Every structure is written in C-alpha cells, then in structure tokens.
Amino acid sequence: MCTIHPKCGACLYSTATYNNIWKTKINTAIKNLKPFVSNNVPIIMHPKDVLHYRKKILLHVKSAIIPPKIGLIQKSDIVNIDLCPLQPEAINKKIDIIKYSLPQYDKFPLQYISFNNETVILVLKDHHSHLARYLDTTKAIFSNVDFPYLYLHLNPSTGNKIFLKSYIYPVYGDLFLKDADGYWYHPLVFQQQIHSLHIESLQIAIDFLKGIDNFLDLYCGIGIASSIAIKYFKNIYGIEHLAISIECAKKNANKARFFVGQVDNRMSALVKKEPDFFENYVMYTNPPRSGMGKQCIKEILKSPPSKIAYLSCNTKSLKNDLMLFNENYNINAIHFFDFFPYTNHIETLVLMSKECR
C-alpha cells in the first residue's frame, strides 16, 4: 500500500486493482471517441501492469522549514513524497538525500526539483548573476553523494514560470546524455516513461505507414520515431518546436532532416520548399495534450499524406482533431496503450488512410 495516498492524489494505486483501473480508462476513452468507434474499426488493447516507471517528475520544494517539504501540490500545500510506488527507487532515495542535506533557505532558495532518468535539476529562486556562489554551495552540499548528473537552474521569478528558457548549469555531468536504451537526451526534454511500450507503439505505427519513401515526423521530440523509421524510409523529415529536442534528434537519427519551429508554420514553409516530398508521403504525429489543432491540420490537408499514425495522450483533443480529418480519412484501427499505469491517463494510437475518391 502507498503511505501517501489519499493526500497526494496523483495516482490510483491504493484505490483499485490494476485491471479495474485499466477497464475504467478504456471505457472513458471509448466514450470520448464514440463517433469514431464502431464494429468496423478494430480496437486493440496494450495494458502494462508495472510500478516504478515514472522516471521524469517535477517536485515542489518548501525549503523555508526544517526538514523541507518535497512533493506535489495539493490544496495549496506540498504533500511530501517519500516512497512513491510509481517512481524508481533511485529517485525516492535521491529525494530523501536532498531533503536532509539542504542548508537554510536564505543560503539555498530551492523551489523545485526536476528528475529525468538519472539527471537532477535544482531550480533556485535567484538571479543567474549569483551562479558561481551556488555552484560552490551545491558542490559542498553533495560532495559525499553519488549524483553523477546534477544541474542548477536559476530563475528569480520561478513559480510563475518554472524555467527561464532551456538553459541549465552542470554541476556534474554533460548537457547531452545517453539513456539506458542508447538514445541521446537532455535533462529538460520530454521522454515517454515506459520505453518498451513506446517502442511497441512506434513499431505498430511504422509497420502501418511503411511502403513509400517519404516519412514526416511531427512533434518529433528527440527523434525516436525517426530513428526507427530510418530502416524503412528513404527520406525522413522531423518538426519540433524545442531546439534542445532537435539537437538530441540529430544525434539519434542522423540520416533524417530536422526543423525547429511551430509545426503549422514549418509545414507551410516545407511544402513550398520541398514539393516533391509532399507529393507522396506518410505522417506520424504525437502532439501535446492540446492536440494538433485546426490551423495545423488545415496546413496538412493542403498536401495530405496517404496514411497517418496519430499517437495521443488526450482522447478529448484527439476527438476534435479526428473530426477535422474525418472527411478525408478512414480509420483503420485504434490501439490503446497504458503508458502511465495506475493513473487516469491513457495513450491512443489511431491509424488512418486517405479515402480514395
């Protein structure tokens, strides 16, 4: 049993069995996608009953008290996260070490801690002109601790916006690292939490899309989809708005071409610049929770792909986007993946092909 629930409220681990949580998620997802779920559309389930998978997490810190509170915000207060069953044991141990190593708040104004795989970013509420002092203090605090990838980020107004752009200062470790699966990443980039399930979903998508030369990877992140697509496609273009993600993508899929910018703007420019590519191509897309949106889909439909594989973390925004694709595409299959076991979140992969008129 979890010792934090129900104060935390971030998961359902202590409220029901895995099978019941999974069934509830599936029912909710199907209800949200009701207009597109029919007897003619195959529905494939991919459950994953696993703990200690959440390798990326942002925690709030209340360091003005001793010992400080480190955890999640609930009802305007911080709930201490001590032994979370969804986090790896290594992160739970690091939280405990940090909690009992911190000096007084006026000497080290820690506001947030960001974990990503093995990396730890300490977010301090102060101006970057004081960096040298904090680097020395941080090294002194953690001199006897095995934190091989430790970074600082200084933001005098952190809270309104946690990070000021995408810079961090290494205390220990490089800015670009390889994870356990051999992919390059940066401590601030997004990665799926369960790598094996993510790769399974990508392989299903690419097996559906393959057969022509041109592959478009929208919201490509660190380029994992593109790195797999290299085996099956001659020309690969990836678009992503975050520059540090693109830097990782170039390392992970060096035979692909990547472009930084908002997807709809970049799409419009690329179609004009590379008309041959867009005459016959397929598309993989994995947008944020807000979905692709009307403007982006409008740009895509000007030069529509023959097939689309759409991975979504929000069935409500997915439904809105499918309504925009509906007149031009048939749904071939819907896959549901449990990328976040013991939570309300579900990942949906929709495979679509262009209607022949």
Domain coordinates in residue numbering, the chain: 18-50+194-354, 56-174
Q: What's the longest Cα–Cα distance across the chain?
A: 70
Work out the angle at residue 38's Cα, subtended by the Cα atoms of residues 33 and 40, and round it to the nearest 5 degrees.
135
The Cα 290–Cα 321 span in angstroms is 10
* pLDDT value of position 1: 67
Q: Which residue has the tokens 């309300």?
A: 344
Q: Is the peptide bond before 67 cis (omega within 30 degrees of 0)?
A: yes
70 with 109: CB under 8 angstroms? Answer: no
Residue 157, SS3? coil
As a residue count, the chain comes to 357
287 with 240: CB under 8 angstroms? Answer: no
Q: Is the peptide bond before 187 cis (omega within 30 degrees of 0)?
A: no
pTM, two decimals, is 0.95
- Are domains 18-50+194-354 and 56-174 of this chain identical in fold? no
User: Residue 77 gets which letter from DSSP?
Assistant: E
Cite the DSSP H helix spans in 33-180: 89-99, 131-141
Work out the angle at residue 90's Cα, subtended by the Cα atoms of residues 89 and 92, and round it to the nearest 5 degrees.
65
The Cα 25–Cα 347 span in angstroms is 10
The Cα 70–Cα 74 span in angstroms is 12
223-251 burial string, b = 16+ CB within 10 Å, else e?
bbbbbbbbeebebbbbbbebebbbbbbbb
Residue 207, SS3? helix
Residue 34, SS3? helix
Residue 117's φ and ψ, nearest 5 degrees, are 55, -120
22 with 338: CB under 8 angstroms? Answer: yes
167 with 196: CB under 8 angstroms? Answer: no
Token pair for residue 65?
A: 């008290």
186 with 117: CB under 8 angstroms? Answer: no
124 with 94: CB under 8 angstroms? Answer: no
Element at 35 (helix H, strand E): none
User: Residue 161 gets which letter from DSSP?
Assistant: S
* pLDDT value of position 356: 66
Q: pLDDT in tens for each of the 357 residues of the chain?
A: 687 877 888 899 988 999 999 999 999 999 999 989 988 899 999 999 999 999 999 999 998 888 899 999 888 889 998 889 999 999 999 999 999 999 988 899 999 999 999 999 999 999 999 999 999 999 999 998 989 999 999 999 988 789 988 789 999 999 999 999 999 999 999 999 999 999 999 999 999 999 999 999 999 999 999 999 999 999 999 999 999 999 999 999 999 999 999 998 999 999 999 999 999 999 999 999 999 999 999 999 999 999 999 999 999 999 999 999 999 999 999 999 999 999 999 999 999 999 864
Q: What is the CA radius of gyration of the chain?
A: 22
- Do the bridges between strand 235-240 and strand 214-218 make them parallel or antiparallel, or are there none, so unpaired? parallel
The Cα 141–Cα 252 span in angstroms is 35
CATH number for domain 18-50+194-354, candidates 1.20.1280.290, 3.60.70.12, 3.40.1160.10, 3.40.50.150: 3.40.50.150
CATH number for domain 56-174, candidates 2.40.50.1070, 3.20.20.70, 3.40.50.920, 3.40.50.11540: 2.40.50.1070
The Cα 242–Cα 261 span in angstroms is 7
Work out the angle at residue 228's Cα, subtended by the Cα atoms of residues 177 and 33, and round it to the nearest 5 degrees.
105
